[in-house]
Structures are given as structure tokens and as C-alpha cells.
Structure 1
Amino acid sequence: MEQFRNIGVIGRMGSVQVVETLRQLKAYLLDENYQVILEQDTATMLPGHGLQVASKKLIGEICDLVIVVGGDGSLLGAARDLAKAKIPILGVNRGRLGFLTDIAPSELEERVGRVLQGEYIEESRFLLDAHATRDEHPLGFGTALNDVVLHPGKSTRMIGFDLYIDGHFVYTQRSDGLIVSTPTGSTAYSLSAGGPIMHPKLDAIVLVPMFPHTLSSRPIVVDGKSEIKLIIDRTHEAYPQISCDGQMDISCGPGDVIRITKKPFKIRLIHPKDHNFYATCREKLGWASNIAAS
């Protein structure tokens, strides 16, 4: 197990609860003689903190561990920024579901303390890169840990597009769009659209149509190394968008091409040693916790 000494801290902006947890975390880490480095935006929430401040890029270079205080969206943002640095990330939940940020604030000192003492498990999660081109010229680029989504934007019209997987034509579809999800994202937007839950260890990508104009269109699970290519119908009159983790939108037009592939860098996600994917699903998705004795 790695020895963590330099701890980077990133918090979600605009939340009183996050500030409270940041103060608690800061006090604990300093009491335990760890070197704490605050992300520069996070530092603005703790006036008079007296700590070193750094950009996310620099945090990735000088820290042994990053602790994210917020919801899953906060961890998604940190993961996109820090993937290349290959630094482990630990999440403290101040959001809603908390599939990725799985330490409760009420257990912060105990659970974080155990992780820092080496009592943790580590997962490797892959990300997706999305490249959009128009007449072979770059149009936009984005990275996603959860999903890349083709959607109508502000338009209410269906999108016509062709789907290719590894160069093989799959189908022409008219729908509200397509969700291209990693296993990490399979419990997020993909799940809401009827996609399958995938274990995080799977090297697979799921494609989930959004309200397709056919009853036979179903989610498809493909190898994680596959190249997904979408070509917007040239006769399409609306201008759909590509979003990455719901944060970055790339405006597309008729004939534009979107290529989605696995990113060469993976994130290192840290959990307390008792973390269990199925237990998380039971808790977060409301699965039955036991079977009544007959």
C-alpha cells in the first residue's frame, strides 16, 4: 500500500455543507501531521486557511492522494482533470446518491483515517474521449468518466444518425439521441434510460438509445476497446449536441462525425476496505436488503 503524505483537497463550490466538511477534514489532516494542499477554487471557501494552494494540474504533480468533498459530479470533474496524473482519488459524499463519493461526513475521521493507514481497496476506471469533426476538420473534444451523450439540445426534434462500431455499420436510427456509457456511468444517466448495470471491473461500453423511433432498438454492450462512430444525417435540419458527463457541450450539424474511444489513461479510485459494489447498489438503488424467512 502507498504511503500518503501530501494530500490534495478539492471541494464543490457553493455549498455550506461542503465548507463544514472541508473545515473538519482540514483540522483532522493537520492534527495527523499531513501536508494539505488546497485546490485554488476550493481555497476561496476557506478564508485564512494558511495552507498551500495549487491548481488541479499542480496537485496532480505534487500530491500522493486527492480527497474530493462533494457529490459524484465533483469527483467526475476531478477525475477528468487528474486522469493523466495517475493520482489516487478518494471521495467524501456531500451530494445525493454517492456511488463514487462513498464516505459519509459523519464517519469522516474514522474512514479517512483508515484509508490513510493503508486500509483501502483501489479500483481502476477508464474514461472515454469524444472527438467531433466537420469535413475532417476538428470541431470539438471532450472526456467523460460516466458517459458521452448525443442529444437534441434545445430542439424537440428527433436526431437521425448512423452508428458504426469498429468500422462496421450497425444501423441508421431516429431517436432523441444515444448514451455511450462506461461501466462507471451505467448507474447514472444510462440506467435512467433503461441501460444495464455493469460491474466497474468490466472492460465494456454500453450504447443506450434514447426514445428510439422503433420498438426493436435495444441497448448494446461492446468491448471497451471499440471505436464508436456516429454520423449525423446530412438531411437533418436541427443541430444536436454532444455532452461529456453532462458538463461540456459540443454543437454538431448535418454530416458531422463523432468518434468515441477509450482514453489511454485510467483513474485510480480509492475506497474504504469494506466497500462493496453490490452493497452500494442495494443502498443507493433501493434493492431489497434481505429475504424474509418463510
Structure 2
Amino acid sequence: MEQFRTVGVIGRMGSVKVVETLRRLKQFLIANGMHVVLEETTATVLPGHNLQVSSIKMMGEIADLVIVVGGDGSLLGAAREMAKFNIPILGVNRGKLGFLTDISPDGLERGIEEVLEGRYVEEKRFLMDAFVRRDGEPVGFGSALNDVVLHPGKSTRMIEFELFVEGQFVYGQKSDGLIVSTPTGSTAYALSAGGPIMHPRLDAVVLVPMFPHTLSSRPIVVDGKAEIKIQIGDENGIYPQVSCDGQKHIAAAPGDTVTIRKKPHKLRLIHPTNHDFYATCREKLGWASSLTMLH
């Protein structure tokens, strides 16, 4: 296990609880001899901190470990930035669900101490790149840990598009759009659209149609290495959007092509040693924990 010396800290803005947890985390890390680097926006909520401050990009170059205090959305943003630096990320949950940020504030010091001592499990999660092209020229780019979504934006009209996987035509569809999700994102937006839950270690991508204008359309799981292409129909009366993790939005137009493929860099996600994917599903999704609960 790695020995961490320089720890980057990123916190979600706009939450008193996050600030409280950031203060505890800062004190604990310093007491344990860590060199702490605060992300520049996070540093503004900790006046008088006397710590090094950096941009997220610079943090990727100097930190051994990055700790994110917030919800899954906060970790998604950090993951897209940190994956290329091969730096492990640990999440402290101050959000709602917490599929990715799995250290609880109540067990903050104990959980962080275990990680600093080398007692943790590490997962590799792959990300996707999305390219939007118009007449063969690039007009937008984004990365996603959870999902890339083609959707109508503010319009309520359906989108007509054609789907190709590895150059092979799959179908033409008229729907509210398409969710292209990694296993990490299968418990997020794709789940609410009727997609399957995929174990994080799977090398696969799921394609989930959104309210298709047919009764026979179902989610499709394809190889994680497959190139996915969505051809937006020329006759569409709307200008749809391509959203990456619901945080990066690219304006598309009729006739545009959206190409999605696996990113070359993977996220190194750290969990406490007692991490259990199925236990997380039971807790977050309300699955029964025993047969007695079913009666």
C-alpha cells in the first residue's frame, strides 16, 4: 500500500456541514503529519488556514491522495480532473446517496486513519470521453465517470437519432434521448430510467433509451471498449444537448454526430476495508436485508 504524505482536500460549496467536516479533516491530517493542500475555492471557506492552496490541476501534480468532502456530484467533478494524474481519491459523504463517497462524517477520523495507515481497498473505475462533431469538425468535448446523456434540453419534443456500436447499425429511434452509462453510473440516472445495476468491476457500458416511442426498446449492455456513435437526425426540430455527468453540457444540432469511447485513464477510487458494493445497494436503494423484513 502507498504511503501518503501530501493530501489534497476538495469540499463542496454552500454547506455549513461541509465546512464543519473540512475543519475536522484539516486538524486531523495536520495532527498526523500530513502536508495538506486546499483546492483554491475550498480554501475560501476556511479563513486563517495557513495551508498551501492550489488549483485542481496543480493539485493533481503534487498530491499523493485527494479527499473530497461532499456528495457523489463533488466526487464526479474531482474524478474527471484527477484520473489523468493517477492519484487515488477518497470520498467523505456530505451528500444524499453516497455511492462513491462512503466515509461517514461520524466515522471521519477512524476512516481517514485507516487509509493513512494503508488499510483500504482500491478500485479502478473507467471514464468515458464524448466528442460532438458537426460536418466532421469538433464542436464540443466532455468526460464522464457516470454517464453521457443525449437529451432535449429545455424542449419537450422528442429527438430522432440513429445508434451505432463499433460501426454497426443498432437502430433508429424517436425518444427523449439516450443514456450511455458506465458501471459506476448504473446506480445513478440510468437506474431511474430503467437500466440494470452493473457491478463496478464490469468492463461494460449500458445504453438506456429515455421514454422511447416504441414498446420494444430495452437497455443494451455492450463491451466497455466499444465505440458508440449517435447520429442526430437532420430533420429534428430541436437543438438537443449532450450532458456529461449532468455537469458539463454541450449544445448539439440536427445532423451532429456524438462519439463516445472509453477514456485511456482510469480513476483510482479508495474505500474503507469494510466496503461492500451489495451492502451499499441495500442501504441506498432500500433492498431488504433479511427475509424477516419481507413479512
TM range (shorter): over 0.9
The Cα shift of 1:14 comes to: 1.1
Aligned to 2:27: 27
2-structure distance, mates of 1:278, 1:240: 36
Helix, strand or coil for the counterpart of 1:292?
helix
Q: Which aligned pairs between 1:39-188 and structure 2 lie closer than 5 A?
A: 39-188=39-188
CA deviation vs aligned residue, 1:205-256 (integer Å, no higher than 9, x gap): 0000000000000000000000000011111111100000001111111110
Aligned to 2:199: 199
Aligned to 2:233: 233
Helix, strand or coil for the counterpart of 1:17?
helix
Deviates more, 1:283-292 or 1:72-81: 283-292
Aligned to 2:16: 16
CA deviation vs aligned residue, 1:133-169 (integer Å, no higher than 9, x gap): 0000111000000000000001110000000000000
**One-letter amino acid matched to 1:96:** K
The Cα shift of 1:56 comes to: 0.8
**One-letter amino acid matched to 1:9:** V
Task: For structure 1, list consecutive stretches of 5 or more residues without a partner in the other structure.
Answer: none
The Cα shift of 1:120 comes to: 0.2
The Cα shift of 1:292 comes to: 2.3
CA deviation vs aligned residue, 1:63-88 (integer Å, no higher than 9, x gap): 11000000000000000011100100
Helix, strand or coil for the counterpart of 2:288?
coil
Aligned to 1:249: 249
The Cα shift of 1:258 comes to: 0.3
2-structure distance, mates of 1:66, 1:253: 38
The Cα shift of 1:201 comes to: 0.1
1-structure distance, mates of 2:123, 2:285: 21
The Cα shift of 1:259 comes to: 0.1
2-structure distance, mates of 1:190, 1:114: 33
CA deviation vs aligned residue, 1:163-193 (integer Å, no higher than 9, x gap): 0000000000000000000000000000000
Helix, strand or coil for the counterpart of 2:200?
coil
Helix, strand or coil for the counterpart of 2:164?
strand
2-structure distance, mates of 1:247, 1:36: 27
1-structure distance, mates of 2:236, 2:151: 13
**One-letter amino acid matched to 1:29:** L
2-structure distance, mates of 1:73, 1:47: 25
What stretches of structure 1 move > 4 A for 4+ residues in a row?
A: none
Helix, strand or coil for the counterpart of 2:291?
coil
**One-letter amino acid matched to 1:44:** T
2-structure distance, mates of 1:180, 1:286: 25
**One-letter amino acid matched to 1:194:** G
1-structure distance, mates of 2:254, 2:34: 54
2-structure distance, mates of 1:236, 1:54: 44
2-structure distance, mates of 1:80, 1:114: 25
The Cα shift of 1:58 comes to: 1.1
The Cα shift of 1:33 comes to: 1.1
Aligned to 1:218: 218
1-structure distance, mates of 2:198, 2:114: 28
2-structure distance, mates of 1:193, 1:133: 26
Helix, strand or coil for the counterpart of 1:84?
helix
Q: How many residues align?
A: 294
2-structure distance, mates of 1:17, 1:257: 43
Aligned to 1:287: 287
2-structure distance, mates of 1:208, 1:41: 35
